[in-house]
Amino acid sequence: MCLGLPIALCLSPAHKVWRKDGTKVVTERAATWGAEFKAVGKLFISRRILLLLPAFFISYFYNGFMSTWLTTYFTVRSRAFSSFFTNFAGIFSSFIIAFLLDNQKIHIKTRGRIAFISIVTILTGTWIWASILQNEFYNAAERPIFDWFQGGFGKSYALVFFWQFGGQAFQQFLYWLVGQYATNLSDLSHHTGILRGVEALGQTVAWAMQSEGGANHFVSIGINFGFTLLCIVPTWIVLSELEASHEVKVTEEEVEADAKLSTDA
């Protein structure tokens, strides 16, 4: 993380980047801050973004309850293990979903549908699993506390692993999806800004819910499960309309031709 800033400063400006296929990275900046906010506002109320808002909101919602789950049912030592090992779930799922979504041999719509169905299946499975375990824990004579690899640890921790696995894959998928509809780098920043903002709003609500002492865990499970199901149809509609990337392609020849016209003028 400390190396992020100096490495970023060494990157070439976007307008100087040429891709291997001879196309240029297109950047368009609004003349004023007001124009930028207006462009973001117009995009926010567009049909496509409104359909994706439930998915944006719920994409990181699970994180608040996952933290409460670990704090409630795991020892400090087992939580330390989770902090180390669970990160690999996100790494694995990110590589897997990226390999699928970047596979040019499969039609873009088919790639998106396979990815989305897989992610939703994993996430809905985790919330059903959580409901079963939570009911078991509430009905137990005393609250279970799990330590490393002791009785019950595996089935309870695996839930955490797959929350992270599915959740990070969902993040990758959503950023890929909005990226396909962005026309240029500036438009992409508007799309991802809205995604990140609504996702952060979801996290805020999730953590606020967990801050309530003695809250019933079934409420959090139900909201996560319900919103996951709610986002399926609108996200599927957006996926069904995806035939190809919307990015504007500009070749070196077009840039040279524009420059020549400007010179002649």
Q: State residue 32's pLDDT score.
A: 79
Q: Which H helix or E strand runs over 251? A: strand 250-251
**Mean of the per-residue pLDDT values of the chain:** 86
- CA 34, 35, 38, 44: dihedral to nearest 10 degrees? -120
pLDDT band at 242 (very low <50, low <70, confident <90, very high): confident
pLDDT band at 255 (very low <50, low <70, confident <90, very high): low
Q: Where are the beta strands (DSSP E) in 50-160?
A: none
**What's the chain's length in residues?**
265
Q: State residue 6's pLDDT score.
A: 87
CB of 246 closer than 8 Å to CB of 148:
no
Amino acid at 92: F
Q: Give the single-character DSSP code of 141.
A: S
Phi, psi of 123 (to 5 degrees): -65, -45
pTM to 2 decimals? Answer: 0.84
Instruction: Please check the confidence at residue 249 and state whether its pLDDT lies above 90.
Output: no
Instruction: Please check the confidence at residue 263 and state whether its pLDDT lies above 60.
Output: no
Structure tokens at 95: 């590589």
- How far apart CA 256 and CA 193 sit, in angstroms, is 32
User: Domain 53-249 falls in which CATH fold?
Assistant: Growth Hormone; Chain: A; (1.20.1250)
Domain boundaries, the chain: 53-249
Judging by DSSP bridges, how do beta strands 250-251 and 23-24 pair with one another?
antiparallel
Higher pLDDT, 32 or 103: 103
Instruction: Please check the confidence at residue 23 and state whether its pLDDT lies above 90.
Output: no
- How far apart CA 190 and CA 65 sit, in angstroms, is 29
